[in-house]
Amino acid sequence: MSKLLERINSPADLKKIPEKKLPQVAQEMREEIIRVVSKTGGHLGASLGAVELTLAIHYVFDAPKDRIVWDVGHQAYGHKLLTGRREQFETLRRKDGISGFPKRDESIYDTFGVGHASTAISAALGMAAARDIAGEDHKIIAVIGDGAFTGGIAFEGINNAGILKKNMLIILNDNKMSISRNVGAMSKYLTMITSGKIYNRIEADVWELLGLIPKVGGKARKLARRIKESIKNLIVPGIIFEELGFRYFGPVDGHNVEFLVETLKDIKNLNGPILLHVLTQKGKGVEFAEKDALCCHGVSSFDKVPGDKPSKKKAPAYTEVFGKTILDIASRDASVIAITAAMPDNTGLQAFADIYPDRFFDVGIAEQHAVTFAGGLAVEGLKPVVAIYSTFLQRAFDQIVHDIALQNLPVRFVLDRGGLVGEDGPTHHGAFDLSYLGLVPKLVIMSPKDENELQHMVSTLIDYSNGPIAMRFPRGSGIGVPLDSKPKILPIGKGEVLSEGKDAVFVAVGSSVAVCEQAAGLLGTKGFSAGVVNARFIKPLDTELLDEVLQCEPALITVEENSLIGGFGSSVLQHLVHHGFDTSRLRSIGIPDRFIEHGTVGELWQDIGLTADSVAKSTLELVQARKQFYGPLAG
């Protein structure tokens, strides 16, 4: 059988394929997605689940004239295959290859860059408004998952779209899963629609009511029986959406591609905002992915044998150590409450959720709400720990400033994925947290140098009750140090001298401490003496320790996996400036002022000079330049 997919280099090519052959194209797309993701890793489950939907959209609509807007974007691998990127698909998520998410500068078919959830409705509505201003008449289609539908901005978009009445289609891709099982009242409502429970409940209510009316009750019931079918038609399943100004269609089977094509053709030219509710299964078509939608949301490469779990690494993941430590502390302190925004597993909190369901809250993809909700808990004397990835907490900046810090509420923030995350790229790097948190008054910020220090910081964070406090740590495994049997409480705002040096001293944050220790070793082999200070706290700065270092050491190098702008280095620089120290002795190494693309963390570090080699090289340059200028400084 010749491959149909090989003939498709654009949506126009797809349209040449007869409708009845679309299931075969779907099958070939699935095979290609699995083949490539098994090598590159990636968001397998969502993309497999959206294959038929993607095909049907491109078959019926006319992209790029018609605008397709993906939410989150992790389901868009099929879209990439159909829009001229089939041959590059092999390079998915690889450095200089195509991105794992829609990206405007990658393709004209990618109408809106994405990676964070719940943006599609707002972006699509903006495009619809622009279209109308320009007097054009193309179609706008937003595809949003039921998980992303729990996000505040999605509700804001719906609220605005229902009143603007622009022609646009929102396709709700409902697979009942966020990354974990979806949560919340909206999710429950969608389940009621899909299980027919709304109709059944209203029917029962009417029935009961008619029976209650004296005398006419019996007759009315007979009448009701006759009009039962009409009631069915009268009671629209998506009544909430109808009330909000949308025309609701569905729910429809999202894996019957021919039926989807017919449905889309039917509703394509209707006016006003339309919501099509499509039911899909995450991981569809692959047994192991269907069975374990959570595990197959995002997978590492699993070359050859699908379903094989990656081999166990020796050092535990930072996330895992966090999860264990908080659980241990929570067993002794009933006021500890854990909050996640739709990521109980990925934040290491699933065990907490299982053991303390009453003290655990998954609020959905609702980072802003999570933070203010924690504020409410803190006001009442509980100890809320909000665990949100660095990149997603960006969403809640005002809540951190206005609701938490301004009132000095002891909310504990735990930011996983601080620093570069690798293949997910710029939408997911935790490149800015030290900057955006650093400027908030009263907020204590710390970062552990390894997994053992992480457990001490978890304990410090929970113990601290003078105001808000945050800890950020990197993605992935710790560095393999032994874990102390008991976590201890660290003194707030105090760094740690790991080694002393005469030519230079590194003051490093979190993951950069290990890099600096290696760099110091490399410098040692070249006859230079470099010491390492583990900053531990980004805020408050340990100015006492800094001043000590500044009194006797010639060169000072700050190293952090955060934007140089507004990060740790810039706080140290300000300290030098404000206290009259010579700033030429300082060099700051960190993430430059640009968005860092995708690639392995190692490749990205290499690019921006964050490896031990490049840190040593920059240090050498500084030390030598200073020696030339001032004469020999060491010894």
Which residues are catalytically annotated?
282, 367, 395
User: Does residue 490 contact residue 456 with C-beta atoms inside 8 Å?
Assistant: yes
CB of 57 to ligand TPP, least distance (A): 15
> Is 187 a residue that touches ligand TPP (CB under 6 A)?
no
Question: How far is 196 from 189, CA to CA, in rounded Å?
Answer: 11
Distances (CA, A) of 505 to 222, 340, 395, 502: 89, 38, 36, 8
> Is 116 a residue that touches ligand TPP (CB under 6 A)?
yes
User: Does residue 416 contact residue 475 with C-beta atoms inside 8 Å?
Assistant: yes
Please, which residue, 241 or 568, has the CB nearer to ligand TPP? 241
User: Does residue 581 contact residue 550 with C-beta atoms inside 8 Å?
Assistant: yes
Binds ligand TPP (CB under 6 A): choice among 72, 161, 261, 294: 72
Q: What is the 3-state secondary structure (H, E, C) of 457-481?
A: HHHHHHHCCCCCEEEECCCCECCCC
> Is 75 a residue that touches ligand TPP (CB under 6 A)?
yes
Per DSSP, what are the bridge partners of residue 142?
Answer: 69, 170
CB of 341 to ligand TPP, least distance (A): 6
Question: How far is 288 from 306, CA to CA, in rounded Å?
Answer: 7
> Is 342 a residue that touches ligand TPP (CB under 6 A)?
yes
> Is 161 a residue that touches ligand TPP (CB under 6 A)?
no
- What is the rounded radius of gyration, in angstroms, for the C-alpha atoms of the chain? 28
> Which positions from 598 through 617 interact with ligand TPP, judged by CB under 6 A?
none
Question: How far is 148 from 152, CA to CA, in rounded Å?
Answer: 9
* Site stretch for ligand TPP (CB under 6 A), options 228-236, 328-336, 340-348, 434-442: 340-348
Binds ligand TPP (CB under 6 A): choice among 46, 339, 363, 572: 46
CB of 157 to ligand TPP, least distance (A): 14
Instruction: Return all residues near 280 (Cβ < 8 A) that are at least 6 apart.
Output: 49, 50, 52, 53, 173, 174, 175, 254, 255
Binds ligand TPP (CB under 6 A): choice among 395, 429, 456, 475: 395
> Is 343 a residue that touches ligand TPP (CB under 6 A)?
yes
Tell me which amino acid residue 231 is.
Answer: I
Residues 454-493: x/- map of binding to ligand TPP (CB under 6 A)? ----------------------------------------
Question: How far is 190 from 173, CA to CA, in rounded Å?
Answer: 11
User: Which has the closest alpha carbon to 189: 151, 237, 152?
Assistant: 237
User: Does residue 492 contact residue 589 with C-beta atoms inside 8 Å?
Assistant: no
> Which positions from 140 through 159 interact with ligand TPP, judged by CB under 6 A?
145-148
Please, which residue, 361 or 605, has the CB nearer to ligand TPP? 361
Binds ligand TPP (CB under 6 A): choice among 70, 248, 249, 392: 392
> Is 74 a residue that touches ligand TPP (CB under 6 A)?
yes
Binds ligand TPP (CB under 6 A): choice among 51, 53, 169, 177: 177
Binds ligand TPP (CB under 6 A): choice among 365, 434, 622, 623: 365
User: Which has the closest alpha carbon to 40: 28, 49, 32?
Assistant: 32
Question: How far is 109 from 173, CA to CA, in rounded Å?
Answer: 20
Please, which residue, 113 or 147, has the CB nearer to ligand TPP? 147
Please, which residue, 47 or 459, has the CB nearer to ligand TPP? 47
> Is 375 a residue that touches ligand TPP (CB under 6 A)?
no
- Which residues here bind ligand TPP, judged by CB under 6 A? 46, 49, 72, 74-75, 116-117, 145-148, 173, 175, 177-179, 282, 341-343, 365, 367, 392, 395
